[in-house]
Amino acid sequence: MERTNWTDIEFILQGLSEYPRAEKLLFVMCSVTYLVILLGNSTLITLTLLDSHLHTPMYFFLGNLSFLDICYTSSYIPTLLIHLLSEKKTISFTRCVVQMSVSFTMASTECVLLPVMAYDRYVAICNPLRYPIIMSRALCIQMASLSWGLGFLNSLTQTILAVQLPFCGKNVINHFVCEILAFIKLACADISLNEITLMLGNVIFLFSPLLLICISYIFILSTVLRINSAEGRKKAFSTCSAHITVVTVFYGTILFMYMKPKSKDSAFDKLIALFYGVVTPMLNPIIYSLRNTEVHGAMRKLMTRYWFWRKG
């Protein structure tokens, strides 16, 4: 079978081509969700930069998470929206690889960033007197840089291995986006090495961070239960509730996708993957803003400044 050059290869993103009405509905839902993602995460980033009360490690990492979610969704949602309304759902090899690489970088980075945020909560609750010293600005920058660096390195490794594969015949990706596992399954060569590295990557970037998060919260729970005051326990738990919710949504969706029995209806599997890729980034700013008095106060101050600026 003749193998084509990279420049000649095009992929067809199948999506829900067999359900055109569902694609129109998905277009509306994804458009609204994407606007909420951009607005919510941009607002959080703006607040953490402009309000001095939010210049803390927790909000520094939250700003990184918001920026990450914007980059992650922007790597594929604009193309997804075009394809949902188009009969021609093709994407070039180069664009597919870039989309796959960027989204994989962001997902890997988030896997590292979440345990970093759990460590921040651990220090804040278990060692509050030394919190400002331990969680210094230099350490926060180093931890955030490590998260981004490891995410990029994982993506680079997987992408380099994937692009070296030969592709032949009709390249139809049974997904909405260029997802790496669907991508390598189209190769007309042995993909055992790719599957092994992906499995190792899942262990390192999914289960190891989850284990670290669980260990952090075991120590946090142990410390909180030793607090005599009910009000003190409630306040301590409230500082962790948003992060616990984000971790539950993030890992809950991933574990459900990987551990559920393979469905005969591939459309259902694709919709679950789309939920993970679109809904989770939308929920993050909502979760961190809900019942958060510091964010609400920063928002009120920003709106007041804007109102006085408009009034001249």
Number of Cβ atoms within 10 Å of the Cβ of 126: 16
More confident residue, 9 or 183: 183
The Cα–Cα gap between 113 and 111 comes to 6
Q: Which of 115-129, 152-166, 261-275 has the lowest mean pLDDT?
A: 261-275
Residues 6+ apart with CB under 8 A from 47: 54, 295, 298, 299, 302
Angle between helices 230-259 and 208-225 (to 10 degrees): 160
Residue 121 confidence (pLDDT): 94
The Cα–Cα gap between 287 and 114 comes to 14
Under DSSP, the state recorded for 7 is: G
Alpha carbon 155 to its chain centroid, in Å, reads: 14
> What percent of the chain stands above pLDDT 90?
45
Give one word for 13, left, alpha or beta, with left for phi > 0 and alpha for psi -120 to 50: beta
Encoded tokens for 246: 């984000």
**Cα three-residue angle 190-8-165, rounded to 5 degrees:** 15
At residue 2 the predicted structure's pLDDT band, cuts being 50, 70 and 90, is very low
Q: Which of 34-43, 44-53, 272-281 has the lowest mean pLDDT?
A: 272-281
The Cα–Cα gap between 265 and 142 comes to 44
At residue 3 the predicted structure's pLDDT band, cuts being 50, 70 and 90, is very low
53-102 pLDDT, tens digit each? 889 999 999 999 999 999 999 999 999 999 888 888 888 888 999 999 99
The Cα–Cα gap between 117 and 143 comes to 10
Give the helix ranges, DSSP H, for 164-229: 180-184, 192-202, 208-225
The Cα–Cα gap between 127 and 176 comes to 46
Residue 120 confidence (pLDDT): 95
Span 304-308, mean pLDDT? 71
Residue 219 confidence (pLDDT): 94
Torsion angle of C-alpha atoms 228, 248, 107, 63, degrees rounded to 10: -40
Encoded tokens for 181: 């596992």
Torsion angle of C-alpha atoms 42, 44, 46, 51, degrees rounded to 10: 170
Span 8-16, mean pLDDT? 81
| Residue 12 backbone phi and psi in degrees, to 5 | -105, 120
Residue 173 confidence (pLDDT): 86
* Run of H or E including 92: strand 90-92
Residue 254 confidence (pLDDT): 79
Encoded tokens for 295: 């964010």
Span 154-161, mean pLDDT? 94
